[in-house]
Structure 1
Amino acid sequence: MSGSKVAEIVEGQKDFTGADIRSVYSKVSNTYAVYGTDDRVMVQFADDETLGSEQRLALSPLNPVRGEINGCIDSWRTPSKVPLVDNVSKAKRFDRRTADALTVALQGDQVHAEELLRAVKADILAQRFSMGRAWYMLVATLAAIVIFAAFWGLSGLEGWSNPTSFVGFVGRNSIWLAASVGCLGALFSIALGIRTREIRTDLELRDNVLDAVLRVMIGAVSAIILFSLFKTELVSLQLGTAKIDLNGTGTPAVHAAILIAFLGGFAERLVGDFLSTAVLGGRTGSPDPSARPTTRTNEGANEQNPRGTKATEQTTGQPRMAHIHGVDDEVDNCLCDAQLDADELTDDVELPEASGGIEKAA
């Protein structure tokens, strides 16, 4: 079978493009068939060329949303390499909903079909944003662990006691402690605000990875700067009768250093939120399911007349007259498109004599 007729759309066969038919969602004899392949949801239009052309015109306003849906779930059509992640089932679920929306459109209700497709798109984006947040948190955690381990690892290197070396400077001035604890404070800040952060979908994984790593690094640097401010006594803090002194010795000074470093890392939100406004401005962190459909309601539409354009011809036997004024489309009392019965017409002989006109030349 070539798959060029509605009756030839059978599961396990090939369609007219040569793609394998995996599922047949709906089918009306000789009128249409909605089916799924490995790549997308497809429509086999009516065997009658006139009706098939009407169906294509009826579905054309929905094609942009269909394309966005396909673009969002294309990567889900192949099995995921991540354990316990079943993307194929999610793609099949959204394909089923897309097919149902196309069936509604082929039945003549393009308005509700577009609403259904936009709801499908919103749910897909919600899934994508959720996965983006998960990847963001995972990358931020790995970045914090790497920075923490790197600075703590400096304590085992030679030259720790040499004040003129970089390792000695980091060790003798407790810079390693500030940076390592500061990245943990940044990670804690990210975890608390992960639901409200400006995070992109997992389709833009590179941007999410870059932003997560930068926020952790900002937390480490902020902790070092705040730690240095207290160390130089340019800034002081006193709680009750106890004054935080980082230049002292003993356990209280160490705990105070950890506290200051953690607060400095937690302050990455101030810098990070500024970066979100400047870099990610205009990008929303959640889909907007309230987008209004652009198609119009078609009166008299059905599966044999999906656009409703033949309703007037079927009832009156005459094609519907187009509005000729063009400038008064909003006027609701214009009768130029109205069809009159025979008993409502007036013969020319019954019309009153015309008066006025142009005077003939003498």
Structure 2
Amino acid sequence: MDFDFKKAEQALDKLSFPDRLKSVGHLIKYTFTIIGEDEDIIKPWIRMLLYNFVMVSGLFYAWLGWWYELPLEGWGLFVAVVLFIYKYFYYNKQEMRMSHIVYETIIGNDPSYKSAVAACKPIQSQTRKIAWLDILMAFVNKAKFAGGGFVMMLVRLFIAGIGEVWDLVNHYLLPSVAVDRLEIKPGVKKMKTLKSQVPESLVGVFGIDFLGSVTRRIVVPVYIVLGIIAVGLGIWLSGSLPSTEIQGAEEPAKYWFTTLQFSWVPVIIALWVGKLISSLIARTVTGIKVIYFTIFYTKITHPDRIMEKLQDDLVNYLKLKEVDEVKDLDKQGTEEE
């Protein structure tokens, strides 16, 4: 069967948001069955959330403190900046530990977070290299390429394409290091041969960004709702919170106010809550990907090591069998064969 990866990705991209959300829900459900085998799997995820909470809270405390002269706002900014710079290294360290715990769990061992820390110490240099690549890709993706015309359009498309490819490469590199302790260059080379090793039952989902832009699609309405609530509270609580006077118009007949007392505190708090929610979703998506691709990598490269009782469940998990578009493409590929 010659499966069309591009067509599969396009099919998933065309999923309506409710259907995509439903598919992600099924994926999360299967993910929790894996986590149920060993609760230590989620400990790196919890640490990433705590790290992110301190980083984001420090930044917003500094912002609020700068406006309203709160104590130690400078330290809040300092902590936020330091944690932001180091976050790529910390996140990759935790993701590597999560990948190790997942692998040890599905092959029948009983790993702990402490054992994962010890096991990942010899591969710290590879972890740092992946972090540096993450930083490079973050810089490239955020770089502004001004100008119009056909050439600049191609440059922007190329940059966007690199970001998508790196996301996939990154999540196959993690288990290649965590499981087989490969260096980055051999790990990238091995990726080129992985496709030929994929079992026919799984070829339909190899190389698909199954979560797509679901994070962004969930977060936008959250920010909209929080924004509406924050504006309402900013007006309502202006008498009891630090507030500023917003000048309206001299003709109240045309506008509903001439001057308005408004507190920005609820707005800053709403942005803080929104950022925490978006970070929670982003870290959860990353955790799901680490679990998924670690299992996929193990199934491709070391299928004989996986516990017998998990073999069927893991194949169903990896096949995204609840996503109708993938099943339809599988059927189509079978008919064409």
TM-score by structure 1 length? 0.23
Instruction: Name the structure with the higher helix share.
Output: 2
TM-score by structure 2 length? 0.24
Larger RCO (CA within 8 A; separation ≥ 6): 2
